[in-house]
Amino acid sequence: MVSISVFFPCFNDETNIGTLVRDAFLVLPKITRNFEVIVVDDDSKDKSREVLKKLKKSYPKLKLVFHETNRGYGGTLKSGFTNSTKDLIFYTDGDGQYDVHELPILANLMTSDTDFVNGIKMTRRDPTYRIFVGNLYSFVARWLFWLPTYDVDCDFRLIRKKIIDKITLTSNSGAVCVELVKKCQLAGAKFRQVSIHHYQRRYGKSQFFRFNRIVSTFKELIMLWVKLFLLKK
C-alpha cells in the first residue's frame, strides 16, 4: 500500500492552516492508512503556533516543525522534504488557495511510470496584477529553464521521495519551485500534470508579493540558471 507524507508551509497563516490540517486528516484515510501530516512554521509572527499547538491536541499524529528564525519559502520547503518519511510527498501552501480534497486526483495519476504530478491552475483567483506577474514569471521560467511543467507557480504537487532524495535544494526564496522541478527532471523524474482549482485568498496577505522578496527570488533564479547551464558546462 502506498504511503504519503503531506506537509504545509506556514507563515502567518493562523486563519487558514487549521482548515488545511483538518481536511488532510479527512482525505488521507480514503487514499491510504499509512500517512503523516506535517506543518512547517517559518517563524510566524501571528498566532499560527498557538493554533497549531491546539490542533496537535486534537490530532496527536500531527507533526510540527518550528523554525526559530525565518528561512524563507525555500527554506521551509526544504524542512518539509527533510521531515517527510513516506514513499510519496505532497505539499501545498498554507494560505488555503488550494483544496486538499483534490489530492486523490493527483494520487490516481501517480502510476508506476510517474514520479512527479504537478497541478495546473484552471483559473487563477488573484488580483489582476498578481495574475499578470505570475503568468509572466511562469512563462519566463518555463522557457529559460526548459521546464517539463506548464505552471511552475502552482504549489500543488505530489512527488516520489526517491526522487527528492536524489537532489539537493539550495534556494531559500520562491525560486525554489523552479529549482525543484528542474532538478527532479535532471534526476530522471517522469512528469504528469492535471488541472486543479485555485481559490481567492480569504484571509491574510501574500508574503511573496513584496519588493524585497521578489528581488531575492529573481536573484536566486539568475544564479540557479548560471549554475545549471553555464558553470555545468
How many Å apart are CA 31 and CA 29, to the nearest integer?
Answer: 5
**Cell numbers linked to 215:** 528581488
What percent of the chain clears pLDDT 70, i.e. is strictly above it?
A: 91
> Are the CB atoms for 187 and 112 separated by under 8 Å?
no
CATH label of the domain that carries residue 136:
3.90.550.10
How many Å apart are CA 132 and CA 121, to the nearest integer?
Answer: 14
Q: What is the pTM of this model?
A: 0.91
Q: How confident is the model at residue 207 (pLDDT cuts 50, 70, 90)?
A: low
Angle between helices 211-225 and 176-186 (to 10 degrees): 20
- Tens of pLDDT, residue by residue over 133-177, are 777 778 888 889 999 999 998 999 999 999 999 999 999 988 999
User: Does the pLDDT of residue 16 top 60, yes or no?
Assistant: yes
| Number of domains observed in the structure of the chain | 1
pLDDT for the residue 138: 81
How many Å apart are CA 181 and CA 145, to the nearest integer?
Answer: 10
| Sign of the alpha-carbon torsion through 204, 210, 212, 217 | positive
pLDDT for the residue 227: 87
Task: Please report, as a single letter, which amino acid is at residue 47.
Answer: K
Q: Given 3-state DSSP classes, what are the helix, strand and coil percentages for the chain, each rounded to the nearest 5?
A: 45, 20, 40
pLDDT for the residue 199: 86
- What are the CB-based long-range contacts (under 8 Å, 24+) for 211-217? 213/173, 213/174, 216/72, 216/172, 216/173, 217/173, 217/174, 217/175
Domain hosting 65: range is 3-231
pLDDT for the residue 129: 63
pLDDT for the residue 233: 54
- Tens of pLDDT, residue by residue over 36-72, are 999 999 999 999 999 999 999 999 999 999 999 999 9
